[in-house]
Each structure stands twice: as C-alpha cells, then as structure tokens.
Chain A
Amino acid sequence: MRSKSLTRPLIPGAGKLRCGVAMLLAGWTCLAGAAEPEGGWKWPAGLHGYLDARAGVRTQSDPVEEDSPLHEIRAQLEFSPAIGDIRFQVRGDLVWDGVAEDDRVDLEEGTGPLDLREAYLTVSPLDSLDVKIGRQILTWGTGDLLFINDLFPKDWNAFFIGRDIEYLKAPSDALMASWFSRWINLDLVYTPRFDPDRFIDSARLSAWSPMAGRLVGRDVAMAVEVPDQWFQDDETALRLSHNLAGYELSLYGYEGRWKSPAGFDPVASRVTFPRLSVWGASVRGTLGQGIGNLEAGTYESRDDVGGINSLVPNSEVRVLAGYERELIRNLNGSVQYYAEIMRDYQDYRANLPEGMTARDEVRQVATIRLTAMALSQNLVLSLFAYYSPSDRDGYVRPVVTYRVDDHWTVTGGANWFEGEEPATFFGQFENNNNVYASVRYGF
C-alpha cells in the first residue's frame, strides 16, 4: 500500500514564480538549442504544443482554503515519431504551479513540474490487431461528463478548479489491445498497477469529511491508502462493440477498484479503494433530428457483498439516457438523466452508524448542455449544468472561449456549486465557487 497524507500547510507559493519561470525558460532554451541549425533558428518539425497561463479565484472566502485554487503556467510539448511500423506518442506538460506546495514530480498524481500526459507506442502485429503500450488517455462510453462504464482515471481537481477540459481525463499506465473484425470489435485494457482518480485534493478544494463531520481543506490531514502492488492491485477493462448501420452497440466489463477513495479503514484511520466489478452496455445513434444514447452498468462492490458493511460502498445499478440536437443554427442543446440505484438499501440503512446522514436509495442527476457558436465559430459559449433532485444540489459550468487567431485563444469560465446540505456531492463544494481565465498560445 502506498500511503500518503493530503494535508498541506497554509503557506502561500512565495518564491515559486521565479523557479517555475526559470524552469520553463530552461526547457524552452534546450528545445530551441537542439533545433538550431547553422543557418539560424528553426522550430523542430513535428514538435507541437502550447503555452497556457491560467488563474482562478474563489468568489467567496473559504476558512480552510486559499483564495485562489488555480494559478499556473503550462508548456505542453507533443512529439509523434515513427520507427518503421512502430508509432510513438509523447505528450507532456512542464508546469509552474503556484498553488501546490509539493514541488516533487509525481507522475501518478500529476504533481510537480512535469505532468506526463502520454508516452506510448502503437504496433499492429496483425492486420486486425492494434496494441498500445504505455501511458495513455483512455475514454469510452456514451455519457457527456457522466461516466458509468468509463472506469479510467479522472482528475476531479482539474475539472472543478478551471483547467482545460482535457485535464479531466488523467492518464493510465496500461496495455490496450484492440481486435477488429467485421462483426465485433474487442478492446482490452490491462493496467498492471491500480490507477486511481486524481481525487479531490484538500490543497485546492474543501470538501465534506464524514469523519470530521464538517467541510475540511488544508487544515485536516486525510490519510489515503492507494493499493500499488504490481500485477496484484491491477485493473482490467474490456469493451465489445459493433456499429449496426450507424447505431453503436457496446458491452463493457471492468474489474478493479472504486476509482476515488470510497471506503474507510477504521483501524488505520485511512480512506481506501474497495474492490469493484462493473458490467454494462450502451447504445448510441440517430434519434429523430438528433443523437440519443442509453447506457447502464451494474456495480458490484466486492468488499461488501450484501451491503452490510457501512465502511464500504454498496453495490449499485447506474443508468443514463441522453439526447442531443441542434436547436437552431449554431446552437446545440443536450439533456441527460442519470441515476445511481443502491442495490442493498435496507441493509445500508440498517448498518448506517448513528449520526451519519443516510443517502437516498436513488441518486438522480439531470444535466443540460447549451453550446452556441458565433463569429465564424471563433467564439464559443458553453453552459453545462448538473442538478440532482434527490441530493437537492447542483453545479454549473459556463465557459467562454474566443480564438483570437490561429495561435492565440482566451478563455473565461466559472464553477458554481449549490446545495442545501454540505454532505451532498455538489453541495460539499459550496465554498469552492470560482471564476478563472486563461490565455493560450498554440503551435
């Protein structure tokens, strides 16, 4: 078990700016130097990426957090060489992070001055087989910012504090084998060591602590046990898919663990990642004037069969239905309905410790997305909102993006949480409401 404490001292990031900028400049100079031919400077062919400066601020004070959950500069570099039939993909960020207090590079958690997003090779040993080995971003399933059968790691901090949406997906260190035939395609992903979500980090976001019975942040240590034994604490995910005249049909399986710490070990006083199996299915295709999708999954919480252990999450059935269409030209709208149905609710109620608030048997969430484009699609206004009638909480994400030219993009956005209870999923973040802005130069 890898143990760590998520407590961060309340020290502002003084002095880090110089260090970070120096590091970025050093990296830049190295790249430029490597690329400089005798005749003068030339950017290396095939090297792409961006520079992104981004800052956010809370719109209300939080007694246990800094005013800013986000101020950072990222230089993302991407290179995609090929040697014969072997294709490589390397993409990583050099980061100056003004909020994180820990400067050490941790590629698992994506902290420190290097965040390696991708480093994999792809080979096709057979015409019908692709194999991808290494660090990779993986996504499947049909939900829009709701995930049932996509059990690949997410970065919820990035999502809630205003990083670009691409950072919601955290990388997996895995082997992916994909076999294709006329009738069925099979994707198999083996992760030899458990890759958890980059779950809520108390250095940036205050959240509900059932143990403390209040919202906690930098003031309270949350001890976490991350299973990290190679080939023992592993994960396997598979998908069988078929495209039937434009209708995408998929079956899914997953064996691993709850991706964010969902259990609690009272002896060690640590949050844990209990074992989990998921089986599911989805369909997506044209429906009327738009696109409809249905997805379901059954979550087997293998460390609590029967639902009698209150320290381990119960098994659930999760379902999702969505519909998207163009409302008028340059304005798209979508709606989704999502439910988590607890399978052993009576046992859950019977075994709930005294004083703990019981959740509903069915947690329901509805979402809406509106995307408008103007000025030759250079201005994009996007609004995504979650509302849970069962938890009586919600979360709204407005984002405005303007492409100034082919290189420069400016973005502004907000993350706004609302809830009646501090213990519900979105309600717990009510002190983290924030607005942010970014400037990006892509090349």
Chain B
Amino acid sequence: MNTRLAIILGLSLIATAAWAQSPTSSGATNAEVLLAKSHQTFYAAGADMKADVVMELITGDGKQRTRALTMLRLNAPGGSEQKYFLYFREPSDVRRMTFLVWKYPEKEDNRWIYIPAVDLVRRVAASDNRSSFAGSDFTYEDISGRDISADTHTLLREEKLGNNDCYVVQSTPKETLDYVRRIAWIDKTTYLPLKEEYYDLQNELARVFTADKIENVSSGDGSGVIPMVMKRTMLNVKSGHRTEVTFKSVSFNVGLTDDIFTERYLRQAPAKWIQ
C-alpha cells in the first residue's frame, strides 16, 4: 500500500512538475512571438518611414549636445531586411554627412558613410552592433533592432506600468555581450516597449530605456493609424548620461524606393526627401 501510495504520489509529483513546466515553455514561445510583434511595431511599422530626428545628449551635470538628422527607412517586401538612410543636419562638423545601412537580421550589416568635404564614400566595419550610435547612449542595435533569435526570451509576468497593461519579458543574449539580460515592459494594446532595463555583467542595472511620448500617426495608406514612440530616452544609470530622442514629422508609407538607398543618393542626398 505504502509502495503503491508512494508510486502514485511520485507520478503525481512528476505530472505536477510537467504541468508546472508547461507554462514556462509555452511562455518562452509566447514571449518570442510577442517580442517579434513588438519588434515589428517598434522598428518596422509601415512599408517605409520618413522622420526628422533630434537627439539631445545630456551629461549628468546638464551639459547638452545636439544631433539632428533626417531618417528614411525601407523594409524589404516580405522579409526582415531593412535599409536606412540618415542625413545629418547638426552639429556643424557632421552637417551634410549621410549614412547608409543595409541591415540583415542574421549577418553583418553593410554600412557606408559619405563625407561631403572630401567627396568620400567610406565603408564602415560593422562587426559591433553594441557600439554607440553617434556618441549617444543608444547603440546601433537600439536604433534599428536586435536580431530576435540572438536572445532567449521568457515571459516573466504581466503587470501594469502606470496605466498600461504590460507583458514583462526577459531577454538573455545567447552570446556574451556588455549586458546579461534585458527586461522589457511591452504594452498589451500597442505592443510598443514602454520601458527596458539592461543589466550589466555584474547583474547591476546599467541602462534604462523609456518611451516618454506615444502618438498615433496616420499610416499613410488609408489603413488607419500607427502608434509611434515620438520621444524616447536612454539613461546610463551609472554615469548619469542620458540621450533624449524626439521624432518629428513622422510619415509612413510615403513611397520610398530601393534606388534611394544607393551610392547615388549617398553622395547627393535625394532632394525630394531631404529638404
């Protein structure tokens, strides 16, 4: 009897453990799916996008630098590849510089920079997507998105952030990087990330991303509106340095074509799009 009881108890425990485990594994799958959806909304909304971007780089003691640029983005039809064209307006030492990225999710990007004073098209080595973009607290990956399959994702919980219901997802890089985990609060309605925390190799909070202002922008193709993070901040917790990015004049589905993302327009910014 005791033996039978023990066996039943044992089987029950195994069953319970298996049952208990299943939400975690399906949670991981769900986490990846909802992160992919968030990624699509945050980094790849519309077939294309045009925006004026102002970045304020602010030190812990309040000293401020400004980067102003126009960004054009085109998604490859039916794929996850993207092309970016950036035209710098400020500060004066980078004015008229252009930057072209052909982004591939699972291999090295192709990047070119054009320096107008010497009419020089330079190829930029793109091995480290974790390096700072234009001296800001954002990395290249923060600007254009990190390959989802490069991390392991877990749905930790669901909770409110302010008034917004959120999924809280932890993403752990599969390779060793400058951070060991990222925790993201993803809005259940819009799928935009409202907050992200990055923990460094000592597992201490290192950087915090916040979506400070969200607006609905016309989709441009008559299909409705697209929620867009119009102001975002990345704070380096340890140094106190932060970067505030404001998007202005955002338009989706404006009709950008592949030829804009070539050396022709790198050397001579397309007047139709860069006023």
Interface residues of A (CB under 8 A from B): 48-50, 80, 82, 85, 87, 122, 130, 136-140, 165-166, 168-169, 178, 180, 185, 241, 243, 246, 248, 284-286, 289-291, 293, 324-326, 329-330, 332, 376-378, 403, 405-407, 409, 442-443
Contact = CB atoms under 8 A, between A and B. Distances in A.
Range of interface residues on B (Cβ < 8 Å): 35 or more
B117 A289 contact: no
A254 B126 CA distance: 33
Contacts of B231: none
Interface centre among B92, B95, B121, B136, by most A CB within 10 Å?
Answer: B92
Nearest to B128: A326
A282 B129 CA distance: 27
A442 B92 contact: yes
B57 A376 contact: yes
Given A286-B110, A376-B241, A169 B92 contact: no
A415 B40 CA distance: 51
A195 to B, nearest CB: 14
B172 interface: no
A248 B263 CA distance: 10
Interface string B56-74: 0100000101100000000
Interface of B: 57, 63, 65-66, 90-93, 95-96, 102, 108, 110, 115, 117-121, 123-128, 130-132, 134-136, 178, 241, 259, 262-264, 268, 271
- Interface of chain A, main secondary structure: strand
B268 A130 contact: yes
B66 A325 contact: no
A286 B91 contact: no
A442 B88 CA distance: 15
Given A180-B264, A329-B130, A403 B93 contact: yes
A138 B119 contact: yes
A285 B95 CA distance: 26
A378 B135 contact: yes
B92 A406 contact: yes
A241 B121 CA distance: 13
A243 B262 contact: yes
Contacts of B259: 180
B65 A185 contact: no
B137 to A, nearest CB: 8
A329 B128 contact: yes
Given A325-B127, A407-B91, A443-B92, A241 B135 contact: no
Contacts of A403: 93
A48 B95 contact: yes
Contacts of A286: 108, 110, 126
27 contacts: A49-B92, A130-B264, A137-B117, A137-B119, A138-B119, A139-B121, A166-B117, A185-B263, A185-B264, A241-B263, A285-B110, A285-B123, A289-B108, A289-B125, A329-B178, A330-B131, A376-B57, A376-B132, A376-B136, A376-B241, A377-B134, A377-B135, A406-B65, A407-B91, A442-B91, A442-B92, A443-B92
Nearest to A117: B117
B120 A407 contact: no
Given A87-B271, A137-B118, A443-B92, 17 more contacts: A82-B271, A85-B271, A136-B119, A139-B119, A140-B121, A168-B118, A185-B263, A243-B263, A324-B123, A325-B127, A326-B125, A326-B127, A376-B135, A377-B132, A403-B93, A406-B65, A442-B92
A407 B119 contact: no
B65 A405 contact: yes
Contact of B118 (A49, A166, A329, A377): A166
B60 to A, nearest CB: 12
Nearest to A180: B264
A329 B131 contact: yes
